[in-house]
Structure 1
Amino acid sequence: MEKKILEKSNELFLNLGFKSVTMDEIASALGVSKKTIYKYFKNKTELVAAVTEYMFNTICKGIDCILDSKMNPIEELFSIKKLVMEHLKDEKSSPQFQLQKYYPKIYTSLKHKQFDIMQGCIIDNLKSGIELGLYRKNIDLEFISRIYFNGVTGIKDKDLFPLNNYSMQTLMNYYLEYHLRGICTEKGLLELEKQLKNNQF
């Protein structure tokens, strides 16, 4: 039952926002009483924390599977982007903004965990790309990995990028291309063009 509560809550939070969804609505969507939810989560804040942890772990497992499949680094980034978009369902309600505004402690904790995972992942991706001649040799790994994280989180700022002007899918596509064009060699650019053709939406 706990997993069902997490899955349904996650779906509702992503579609409608962390602030908008009530415990009554979650109970109704599950066809259970509110009391059943409170058996597993003592309040909404605890449920929000559990849902963000659940989603974070789900995406991390998916990323691990992609890394294990040993694709080339450019294809790897496109696959990770696709995985994240499938799980976040285009973030119609701008959940990151609501999380930051209404649950700042949970947001800060999640951001630290995301940074730790992404930092290692991107540095490995950059090293691999340099070895394969897809990325330029003279790039600063630490700087690029940090600027990449900052960009990926920055495009979710709905004041800078209003959701009626840009879908999250479009923003992620633009940002990934922007990132790769800045670090690719000629060989890398050929692979990038191939991935852009294969990943048209």
Structure 2
Amino acid sequence: MAARERIKEVALKLFRVYGVKGVTMFDIARDCGMSKKTVYEHFSDKQSLIDEGMQQLLDGHSAFFKETHTTAENAIDELVRNMKYTINMARSLNPVMLFELQKYHPDTWKNIENFQRDCILYGITENLKRGMTEGLYRHNLDLNVIARMRQLQLDAAFDQLQYPPDTFDMPAVMEQVTAHFILGIATIKGHKLVNQYLQIKEEE
């Protein structure tokens, strides 16, 4: 692996675990097994490393969502796959990183907000359209309202004020809100698939 890619990989791992504020260039160099001078030869400062690392992370998310949209059997399969991906990603992400990016790195946070609008919100809307076409979602959904509602659900699941980590398990929260969301928009035909994909047991 090239030194530049190695630095980004290690930096992202540290940022995800400890947040961005508490991680120094020395920490990154130490974990890479190289000198701080070598790190600075590839990245002029910590901000450039944060920007490039976050962009790589967002590009990876975007690529996954696009692939899932293409390969999923149907809209519900796509939505559930995206939920599981988000849960796995969240398990290795300290929410402090997002808080610190928003507070101390506004330009980087702006890129994340653009991603939320251009990729996440767009993807949710396209999934809703697909589900309506497939007869799995109710045909009378207001796309603008429902898509934004879903995005707010996702944002809230990462919000430590809404779901304190000492009280709530984030994957469990994500599964609950996703099940509630799909069941709320699904047709009778869609409900059968929801129960199958989420392994929801029918009430006796």
- 1:51 is aligned to 53
Point out where structure 1 has 5 or more consecutive residues left out of the alignment. none
Alignment partners' CA distance in 2, 1:155 and 1:93: 10
Alignment partners' CA distance in 2, 1:153 and 1:177: 16
Alignment partners' CA distance in 2, 1:175 and 1:62: 21
**Amino-acid identity (%):** 29
Q: What is the TM-score with the length of structure 2 in the denominator?
A: 0.89
- 2:187 is aligned to 185
Equivalent runs, 1:152-163 vs 2, <5 Å? 152-163=154-165
State which of 96, 102, 107 in structure 2 corresponds to 1:105: 107
State which of 66, 69, 74 in structure 1 corresponds to 2:68: 66
Alignment partners' CA distance in 1, 2:110 and 2:156: 14
Q: What is the TM-score with the length of structure 1 in the denominator?
A: 0.91
Which amino acid in 1 is paired with 2:55?
Answer: E
Aligned-pair Cα RMSD in Å? 1.7
State yes or no: 1:41 paired with 2:43: yes
Alignment partners' CA distance in 2, 1:157 and 1:88: 12
- 1:16 is aligned to 18
Point out where structure 2 has 5 or more consecutive residues left out of the alignment. none
Alignment partners' CA distance in 2, 1:3 and 1:33: 15
Please state whether the residue corresponding to 1:91 is helix, strand or coil. coil
Alignment partners' CA distance in 2, 1:166 and 1:15: 19
Q: Deviations over 1:102-138 (max 9, x none)?
A: 2222112211222111222112111111112111111
Preserved CA contact (<8 Å) 2:7 2:39: yes
In the superposition, relative to structure 1, how do residues 5 and 85 fare at CA in structure 2: closer, same or farther (>3 Å)? farther
Please state whether the residue corresponding to 2:199 is helix, strand or coil. helix
In the superposition, relative to structure 1, how do residues 162 and 188 fare at CA in structure 2: closer, same or farther (>3 Å)? same
Preserved CA contact (<8 Å) 2:7 2:32: yes
Which amino acid in 2 is paired with 1:48?
Answer: I
State which of 114, 117, 127 in structure 1 corresponds to 2:116: 114
